[in-house]
Every structure is written in C-alpha cells, then in structure tokens.
Structure 1
C-alpha cells in the first residue's frame, strides 16, 4: 500500500507491499460509420426483422517499463437492419496502470479482469453517445463480467487453445 503523508504527498509504496495505481484513462481511438445513411433511416420505419447487434470485445496490455502498463479495451458494435449495416461504432479505451509487487497470477488477473472492468464504463458511454449522435435510437451495452471472461480465457489457455479475450 502506498504511504500518503499529511500534506497529501505520495511517498511511494511501503516496503514489500503490492501497489496498483491508475495513472490515466484516455481514448486511444474512436470511430463511427453509418455506411448506408441516409437510406437506412427510411428503412428503420419499414423494418421487417429485429435489428441484429454484434459486439466484438478485445483487450491488450503493453508493458512500458518501470512497472507501468497500458491496457487497451476495444469494443466494436455492429448493427445490421434487413441484412444491411446500419452503423459500426468502435472505441479503443485505454488506461495507464502502475502494477508492482503482485504474484504472477495476481498480476495477470489484474491485467485480464480488473483493468478492463475499470475501463468498460468509459467505453460504454462513448459507444452510447456515438450511436445516438449518429441518428439512431439509444443503445446501452449491458454490463460485462470480465472476471468470468478472464477465467474462461485461462481455462482455454490451460487446454492449449489460443488466448484472446473475446465476447
């Protein structure tokens, strides 16, 4: 645990204590496409089948040295109406995390579960805003259980399957 002095200064971690510090959350990349606009807006009133929404979720972590890691959570939301793409919204939400003093298993769990769980609300808000500002009905992504996804990823790795975090 980090030691905080009376004047609010952080004197760094206490000897031998694990530390986890969120240094920054930021948008690394964002895009929105409505490839069939404006025709798709006319079709919305004539929908013969429910819109199909597909979410692709990935994450990656990059070590930057000095126990600093960039974790990027990428969400791509694709909506099709009558087999035509209505919109595609994508965000790469990133964070800088200082992670030190944890066991290898705990460190991997922090990167694979805790960090994306912290980044998700920011990415969800951006996706929601992009969809609505693109002229489509509001869309709210449901919560994602990153702990379960990480556990499934670990199970697959143990079974010899490739390790990617996908939903």
Structure 2
C-alpha cells in the first residue's frame, strides 16, 4: 500500500519547487544631461551627489514579471546642476511556486539586487563619457529598504494585507 505524504512533506516539496528564472536583462532607457557643465570650470570642491532609486513592476503572462530599476544620479555645484544621469535597467523574471507572502520579497529585493550592478556600471560609464569623475556607487541593501517600506506600511494603516507593500 502506498503511503500518503504528510502535510509537512508536501509543504517542503512545494517550497523546493519555487524558482526564479532570469529570462532577460536589458537597458531599457538611459539619459545624460550636463546643463551646467560650462559654468563649472572654476568651481571649487566636489559637486554634491544625490542618488535616487525607484522601481516599477509590470506583470506579464505565465508568472513572468518585468522589473524596471531606475537609478538617477544628480550632481550640483552650489545651485547649478552639473549633470543628471538616469538609467532604467530591466529584467524579465519568471517566478514560479512562490506564495503570496514570498512574492513581494522576491520582486522587491532579489530582482533589484540582480539589476543594480548593471545599472551602476551604465551610470558610471555615462558620467565618465560626459567628462566627469564617476562617483563610486556603493551596493544597495534592497532588503533593508523593503523592510523599512513594510514597517512604514504597517504603521500607516495598521498592517499591510498579506505582507504586500503599497
């Protein structure tokens, strides 16, 4: 007689089936502007650098998601903008077997972790090609950012449903 698997064994089997497949990583858009470069010839000191990150997710068919990570670096010398470099790096990820609680973590932490090194390299190359010294863009802790957003969501409205960030 065949034995029926226990609930614990079935849960472990389902968890083993969860997988993230990177189908495509690509540069979706890039721009570089140096509106105040000519006026900075005699400027003293290093410009102030500001790094902004954002992310957009498009749900595709068959458990596939397009995750677009936007990295914007703005450099200002006083009140003049030296340059603005912006890169939209995207990936198509097939996410199979993740629970509703796990999926936001995968999309908001694992996917941007994979995309950021590509975006960082592209931003650095654009800044250097624009005639500026590229700032060292340090690795980003997307897990910490996600945890902070979840904490803010819980404080703002009691508790986010199913651990999803809004």
TM-score if structure 1 supplies the norm length?
0.82
**Equivalent residue for 2:23?**
23
Give matches, 1:79-158, under 5 Å.
79-158=75-154
Residues 50-86 of structure 1: CA deviation (Å, up to 9, x unaligned): 4211111101111111100000000110000122100
- Secondary structure of 1:65's partner? coil
The question of whether the paired residues in 2 share the 8 Å contact of 1:124 and 1:140 is answered with no
User: Secondary structure of 2:98's match?
Assistant: coil
Which structure's residues are more often helix, by fraction? 2
Kindly tell me the number of residue pairs found equivalent between the two proteins: 146
* Displacement over 4 Å in runs of 4+: none
- d(CA) in 1 for partners of 2:72, 2:134: 16
**Equivalent position SS for 1:66:** coil
Task: Name the one with the larger strand percent.
Answer: 1
Q: Is the partner of 1:117 in helix, strand or coil?
A: helix
Which residue does the alignment assign to 1:65?
61
Q: Is the 8 A contact 1:50 1:81 kept in 2?
A: yes
Residue-by-residue CA offset, 1:4-35 (whole Å, 9 max, x unaligned): xxxxxxxxxxx851121000000111000000
SS in structure 2 at match of 1:141:
coil
Q: Classify the secondary structure of the residue corresponding to 1:24.
A: strand
Bigger Rg, structure 1 or 2: 2
CA separation in 1, counterparts of 2:145 and 2:78? Answer: 31
Conserved 8 A contact 1:132-1:139: no
Residue in 2 aligned with 1:76?
72
Gaps of 5+ in 1: 1-14
Q: Distance in 2 between matches of 1:142 and 1:99?
A: 28
